[in-house]
Amino acid sequence: MPTLTVFMIIAIIIGAIIDLVLFRAGHYWGGGILTVVLISVFYGFRSIGEEERFVTELFGKFFRSLRPGLQWIIPGIETIRNIIPIWIQEVKLFEGDTSIEVDFKDGSATPRGVIAQVRVKSPDEAYEDATGNSWSGAYRATYSVENWMSVARNLFENAIRAYLNTLHLDEGLTMKGSGVDLKNQLPQGELAKIIEALDKIGIHLEQITIRDFDLSEDLLEARALVQTALRKADAAEHEAEAITKGGVGAIMRALEKISGKSTIDLQKEINKDPALKQMLYKAAIDLTPAQIAYAANAGQRVEFAGGQGVDATLAQLISLAKGGK
């Protein structure tokens, strides 16, 4: 520790000067003893950073937690048990020698870059947990468990796995990215259990993020086939809708020619009668614009190559367009 080294050098220099003075005065042992005392005193000084806490023990038992600044411990008696960083720390999840898959309702995926951000809770002041114990976060992180990071990792991984098990794969994929805090997505009951367990070991959870999911080749291929099928179905639906609209437009143009009425007037007439409106859409489905051929003069026969019952439907529409039923 640089600060400790500086203090030791200063103590040795001062001790050497005093030793020389006392030696010349005839006190041959006094200077040496004083030098040892000075070195011991200076050895007890510790410089503690703003984002650190020192947990010390006296005769093997917890004694105190030292805050930032220049602190002094009793040399040879008071020892430093733990140096705790209190800045936000990252706990990496689902990492190991082999890939760790998580099951969804409709498949499995391997989470990548899953990080829980945590910090020591109330490092200086004691707080009471659910069991009634009152200790500071620095004490809990040192004495509650042997390795608080391992305990926190197990808590997070079990909770995340249980939550993702309830989702479909597409829902899980929306959880990835630094902008999504999985902590806020966990069920409230499960989150409360995690917070209670973390309180006992002096840890506070800030957030959990998942960078991405790795999907197996088979699953990627299957999803690609599904997406292709969905795109084809969507395209077919749009095409059918376009054909229907085209058929309605062609029929309306034919009725305009035959009746001499405007499209707006025809629409008003058709909208008054739901049955005729249904007939119009049925004719539009059975026919395509190319199948509707009409003469320019009103009253001439309309020819088409439609399905069964289209003649009667169109005849009623023509009758309506001419003003009758």
Residue 248 CA to residue 277 CA, distance in Å, equals 11
Average pLDDT over residues 30-45: 68
Mean of pLDDT values over 26-35: 57
Q: 49 with 27, same domain?
A: yes
Q: Is residue 93 part of a domain?
A: yes
**Number of domains within the chain:** 3
The reported pLDDT for the residue numbered 272 is: 73
Q: What is the 3-state secondary structure (H, E, C) of the chain?
A: CHHHHHHHHHHHHHHHHHHHHHHHCCCCCHHHHHHHHHHHHHHCEEEECCCEEEEEEECCEEEEEECCEEEECCCCCEEEEEEEECCCEEEEECCCCCCCCEEECCEEEEEEEEEEEEEECCCCCCEECCCCCEECHHHHHHHCCCCHHHHHHHHHHHHHHHHHCCCCHHHHHCCEECCCCHHHCCCHHHHHHHHHHHHHCCEEEEEEEEEEEECCHHHHHHHHHHHHHHHHHHHHHHHHHHHHHHHHHHHHHHHHHHHCCCHHHHHHHHHHCHHHHHHHHHHHHHCCHHHCECCCCCCCCCECCCCCCHHHHHHHHHHHHCCCC
Stronger pLDDT, 265 or 315, i.e. the higher one: 265
Q: How many of the other CB atoms lie within 10 Å of CB of 18?
A: 17
pLDDT for residue 306: 41
Residue 99, in any domain of the structure: yes
| Sign (positive or negative) of CA dihedral 191, 194, 196, 198 | negative
What is the reported pLDDT for 179? 74
Residue 163 sits in a domain of what CATH number?
3.30.479.30
For 205-231, the pLDDT digits (tens) are 999 999 988 876 665 555 555 666 566
Report which residue type is found at 153.
R
- In the block, tokens 């490092």 appear at 123
- Whole-prediction pTM value? 0.61
Closest CA relative to residue 292, chosen from 240, 237, 248, 238: 248
Residues spanned by the domain of 306: 220-321
Same domain, 64 and 115: no
Same domain, 199 and 99: yes
The amino acid that residue 145 corresponds to is: V
Lowest mean pLDDT among 75-84, 87-96, 125-134, 250-259: 250-259
| Shared domain check, 292 and 305 | yes
Same domain, 196 and 236: no
Q: Which residue type does 207 have?
A: Q
Which pLDDT belongs to residue 149? 94
Q: Do 102 and 207 lie in a common domain?
A: yes
Inter-residue long-range contacts of 251-255, CB under 8 Å, 24+ positions, other chains counted: 251/280, 251/283, 251/284, 251/287, 251/292, 251/314, 251/317, 253/294, 254/292, 254/294, 254/302, 255/317, 255/318, 255/321
Cα–chain center distance at 141: 26
Cβ burial 175-203 (10 Å sphere, 16+ → b, else e): bbeeeeebbebbeeeebeebbebbbbbbb
Closest-CA residue to 64 (of 124, 151, 146): 124
Kindly state whether residue 84 falls inside one of the protein's structural domains: no
Which of 198, 215, 232 lies at the terminal end of a domain, its last residue? 215
Residue 249 structure tokens: 């437009």
- Compute the average pLDDT of residues 87-112: 86
Average pLDDT, the chain: 76
Q: Domain ends where: 189, 215, 241?
A: 215
Q: Look at residue 257 and tell me if it is in a domain.
A: yes
Residue with tokens 């006296």: 58
Q: How confident is the model at residue 322 (pLDDT cuts 50, 70, 90)?
A: low
Q: Is the pLDDT of residue 80 over 70?
A: yes
What per-residue confidence (pLDDT) applies to 298?
Answer: 37
- Token pair listed for 166: 């309830």
Q: What is the pLDDT of residue 176?
A: 83
Residue 210 shares a structural domain with residue 225: no
Q: Indicate the range of 63-67, 107-111, 164-168, 180-184 predicted with least confidence.
A: 107-111
Question: Which of 29, 59, 79 is the last residue before a domain boundary?
Answer: 79
pLDDT in tens, 117-152: 999 999 999 999 999 999 999 999 999 999 999 999
pLDDT for residue 26:
58
Same structural domain, 93 and 208: yes
Asked whether residue 48 falls in the same domain as residue 107, the answer is no
Closest CA to 85 of 134, 128, 5, 141: 141
pLDDT tier at 320 (50, 70, 90 boundaries)? low
Q: Please give the share of the chain, as a percent, with pLDDT higher than 70.
A: 57
Q: Under a CB-based contact definition with an 8 Å cutoff, are residues 322 and 259 in contact?
A: yes
Question: Are the CB atoms for 84 and 120 separated by under 8 Å?
Answer: yes
How much is the pLDDT for 11? 59
Packed helices 310-321 and 217-259: angle between N→C axes, nearest 10 degrees: 50
